[in-house]
Amino acid sequence: AVARDDAGLALPASLRARVRISIATPGESEDASAAAVAQLAALLADGTGAPVLVAPGDAVADARILAQLAEGSGSRVFAAGEGAGRRRLALLQPGVQLRGESIDAALDALVASGDAAVLREDEFRGYIAMLRRDLAPYVVPVRDEGERRRVERFLFWSNYKGSTDFMTRYVYPPFVWLLVRPLARLRVHPNWVTLVDILATFAAVPYFARGEWVAGLALAYLMSVLDSVDGKLARVTFTSSKLGEVMDHGLDIVHPPIWYLAWGHALAQASQAPLAWRASLWMLGLYVVDRIVAGVFKARHGKSIHGYTPFDERMRTFISRRNVNLPFFTLALAADAVRGDATFAAARACFYAIVAWQAACLAFHVDRLVRFWSRGGAR
């Protein structure tokens, strides 16, 4: 059947305001299929003047396809899959004449007659700047429990960044999966997860500053995992928002140097070594400059400095970032605990190494900025 149903389709607000939506599910009989075509034809002829987006009701559709179909002024069709698994998405202009025994047949007839153009996969813009990766368009049928589980896994992994640190890529995914799945089913909004993330982030600071490492690290790792959960939850449930993005990315940028300052303060107090505090100030300066360099690079090229070339993507695995520095610092603290060293000699040495690594990463990023400056937006 065909129904006007906005609830099940994820669209940008700007696109939703310009189109009407038709959710089409395969008819169980010839009569049902014919009725679906008739309903869609009536929708196209009702005189409102707005184009109609046609989407399958038994499949998960890539929202990027919907947005790219709506570009331009003519009717367009996108098809993916083979045989019984083939599904179509379309943007149809008012007045288009439908001919066919089913929605799929009618869309194919429009393409064959030249009344609708085809959005081909090779012309699809698949790069996702937020994820620093290319992802092919998808329309995946969900007809039974097995397919539903496969689609859940596909959506989960397809929303991981193309270049990220080794903890996010190799250690955290099982924990993130255990949280994302029930949160999605309970319809918990990702902004609530981000709020808990923010609370854990700043709750860790006084524990770190007092040298209460167990409590501080517990909150830090909770924050680190939730930092992956909120973004995945937003993307797999199509509930991303500008507020959520600002909260999430703002937190990612602001909090690391605060943690480093707290680490330096605690280490300096425990060892009576002011060098640890001075090292944290150096870390603050290096971190800020590094972020500025990365921002200038992205403004110049339109792509992240961590995803510009395959080499940059590999470097992102262990570049100086919270999720790289935190586990090494944790191991150093554990070594001091085993040895009963109240001055935290291993942790101080590790902290100095973290500062040195930040300096090396800044030098690397400055080199990439200078090396590729003349390319502008070219890759």
For the chain, what percent of residues have pLDDT higher than 70?
A: 88
Residue, of 129 and 194, whose pLDDT is higher: 194
Provide mean pLDDT across the span 165-185: 91
Provide mean pLDDT across the span 47-56: 75
- Taking 60 as the threshold, does the pLDDT of residue 282 lie above it? yes
pLDDT, residue 84, reads: 67
Q: How confident is the model at residue 1 (pLDDT cuts 50, 70, 90)?
A: very low
pLDDT, residue 3, reads: 34
pLDDT, residue 326, reads: 97
AA letter at 60 = V
pLDDT, residue 183, reads: 94
CA nearest to 93, candidates 76, 118, 78: 76
- Taking 50 as the threshold, does the pLDDT of residue 363 lie above it? yes
Provide mean pLDDT across the span 148-168: 82
pLDDT, residue 280, reads: 96
- Taking 80 as the threshold, does the pLDDT of residue 216 lie above it? yes
Provide mean pLDDT across the span 45-50: 69
pLDDT, residue 2, reads: 34
Mean pLDDT over the full length of the chain:
84
CA–centroid distance for 217 within its chain: 25
At 332-357, the pLDDT tens digits run: 999 999 999 999 999 999 999 999 99
Provide mean pLDDT across the span 205-219: 97
What CA–CA distance (Å, rounded) separates 318 from 125? Answer: 29
User: Domains of the chain (ranges plus CATH)?
Assistant: 2-123 (no CATH), 159-375 (1.20.120.1760)
- Taking 60 as the threshold, does the pLDDT of residue 40 lie above it? yes
**Half-sphere exposure at residue 288, Cβ-oriented, CA atoms within 13 angstroms:** 7
Q: Residue 20: in which H helix or E strand, if any? A: strand 20-24
- Taking 60 as the threshold, does the pLDDT of residue 28 lie above it? no
Which residue in the block uniquely carries the two structure tokens 């944790």? 330
Provide mean pLDDT across the span 51-73: 78
- Taking 90 as the threshold, does the pLDDT of residue 135 lie above it? no
Residue, of 276 and 238, whose pLDDT is higher: 276
pLDDT, residue 237, reads: 82
Token pair of 54 as six digits? 């046609």
Token pair of 282 as six digits? 């150096």
Task: Considering only the C-alpha atoms of the chain, give the largest distance between any 2 of them, rounded to a whole number of Å.
Answer: 84
Phi/psi at 77 (5° precision): -130, 140
pLDDT, residue 377, reads: 57
